[in-house]
């Protein structure tokens, strides 16, 4: 007896029959519609585990149906059937919320694998939701939105571009998208692209055995890119390839800095102290009121990673189980401790340390040229466009 139900939307009877037969042999009960209006009616009167829709329909297109389902039944995964070679339509469908796409003529093996992936995701959704709540901490509005977005993106196969400052938890977000998606039983492979020499990049990703570059074996991966640099501005400055940017940035997800969700600091600090107590066999670690207030007022240029480093250092230095304001040893705002000269890569993430050095160099050049940006750019040996990008990135405009 069929345990899953699918909605098939296509105006070609032969295609509908082929899909119905294929899914029927997978013990999936199917209902079909020839247009958007009929599909919407079936969605109102019945529930489904997956929807397959053609892109071109007599009264609209498949993307209209994707948007309708996103609005009224966001938990229902949708796969769009596109014309061969119509990558623009496929990308548009993914941005609208489609789970995946299949090109015509439909490869039945590809279709079966896609459907199995969707059903596995649907069957395990409650377990994945619990996992997300336990690892992506925070009850601020920003974090609630991030969790909701992760839930939606995990159902898609689209490339995701994750942007945020250093230490905000971009890799954690990427892992959650993977863990809650249909590839959760397959490896999550983090790659630090900056650590791989350009001439080895191709072999690192695709292998180096004889024949691996010409007519190689197809790869089946989902790309989740994470960076603390604003790639759109790097493209404008001529420092990042535009074609690569558009391939990576199908859907963008921004992870907010800790200073924009201060209400989460108490929860994050408590979680970190609990973890440190367990690791070091020091039960009962806690912050006193002054220490908690100081953390709430601090801007955290290194974000959550810096909070963890501060608390680890403080618990090592503190006497007893209570962390005080003095144990935190936070930099004092407005003093030289905010400059690169007063920070070391061990106190803040290396990216933050380097940003501070760059900021000092820019300010010095601007002062020496009486804030003539053209002259400052020439003095620094960079283009005016690159200077403008760096000033914006570092908040110096």
The tens digit of pLDDT for each residue in 117-136 reads: 788 766 655 454 444 444 78
The tens digit of pLDDT for each residue in 156-178 reads: 778 899 998 888 999 999 999 99
- Number of structural domains (the chain) is 4
- On whether residue 206 sits in a domain, the answer given is no
Q: What is the pLDDT of residue 130?
A: 42
In the chain, which residues have pLDDT < 50?
Answer: 126, 128-134, 334-341
- On whether residue 158 sits in a domain, the answer given is yes
Closest CA to 256 of 173, 352, 188: 173
57 and 9 Cβ atoms separated by less than 8 Å:
yes
User: Does pTM top 0.85 for this prediction?
Assistant: no
Mean of the per-residue pLDDT values of the chain? 83
Q: Which two tokens stand for residue 283?
A: 């039960």
Positive or negative, the CA dihedral 357, 359, 360, 364 is positive
Closest CA to 40 of 86, 9, 12: 9
Enumerate the H helices of the chain as residue ranges: 13-24, 36-45, 62-72, 87-96, 108-123, 125-135, 141-154, 170-179, 201-206, 231-236, 242-248, 265-280, 289-297, 303-317, 325-328, 350-368, 373-380, 384-393
- On whether residue 215 sits in a domain, the answer given is no
Helix/strand/coil for 31: strand
Q: Which residues contact 305 (CB under 8 A, 6 or more apart)?
A: 166, 167, 349
CATH at 15: 3.40.50.2300
Q: What is the pLDDT of residue 288?
A: 93
Within this chain, do residues 360 and 384 fall inside the same structural domain, yes or no?
A: yes
Within this chain, do residues 60 and 148 fall inside the same structural domain, yes or no?
A: no
Q: Which residues form the domain of 377?
A: 339-393
């Amino acid at each position: 007896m069929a345990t899953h139900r699918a909605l098939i939307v296509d105006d070609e009877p032969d295609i509908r029959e082929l899909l119905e037969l294929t899914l029927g042999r997978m013990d999936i009960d199917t209902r079909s519609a020839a247009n958007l209006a009929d599909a919407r009616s079936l969605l109102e009167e019945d529930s489904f585990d997956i929807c397959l829709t053609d892109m071109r329909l007599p009264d609209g297109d498949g993307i209209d149906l994707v948007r309708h389902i996103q609005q009224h039944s966001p938990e229902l995964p949708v796969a769009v059937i596109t014309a061969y070679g119509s990558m623009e339509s496929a990308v548009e469908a993914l941005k609208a919320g489609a789970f995946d796409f299949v090109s015509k003529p439909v490869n039945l093996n590809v279709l079966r694998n896609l459907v199995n992936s969707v059903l596995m995701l649907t069957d395990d959704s409650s377990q994945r939701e619990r996992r997300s709540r336990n690892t992506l901490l925070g009850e601020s509005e920003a974090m609630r939105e991030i969790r909701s977005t992760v839930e939606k993106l995990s159902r898609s196969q689209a490339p995701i571009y994750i942007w945020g400052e250093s230490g905000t938890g971009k890799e954690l977000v990427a892992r959650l998208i993977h863990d809650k998606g249909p590839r959760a039983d397959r490896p999550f492979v983090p790659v630090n692209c900056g650590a791989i020499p350009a001439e080895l990049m191709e072999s690192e990703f695709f292998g180096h055995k004889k024949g691996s570059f010409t007519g190689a074996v197809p790869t089946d991966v989902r790309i989740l890119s994470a960076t603390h640099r604003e790639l759109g501005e790097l493209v404008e400055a001529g420092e990042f390839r535009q074609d690569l940017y558009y391939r990576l940035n199908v859907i963008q997800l921004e992870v907010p800095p800790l200073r924009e969700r201060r209400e989460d600091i108490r929860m994050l600090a408590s979680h970190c102290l609990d973890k440190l107590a367990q690791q070091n066999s020091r039960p009962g670690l806690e912050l006193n009121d002054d220490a908690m207030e100081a953390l709430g007022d601090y801007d955290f240029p290194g974000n959550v990673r810096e909070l963890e480093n501060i608390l680890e250092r403080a618990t090592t230095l503190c006497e007893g189980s209570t962390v005080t304001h003095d144990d935190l040893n936070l930099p004092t705002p407005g003093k030289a401790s905010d400059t690169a000269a007063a920070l070391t890569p061990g106190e803040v993430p290396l990216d933050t340390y380097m940003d501070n050095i760059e900021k000092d160099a820019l300010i010095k050049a601007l002062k020496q040229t009486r804030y003539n940006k053209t002259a400052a750019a020439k003095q620094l040996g960079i283009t005016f466009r690159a200077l403008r990008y760096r000033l914006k990135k570092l908040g110096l405009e």
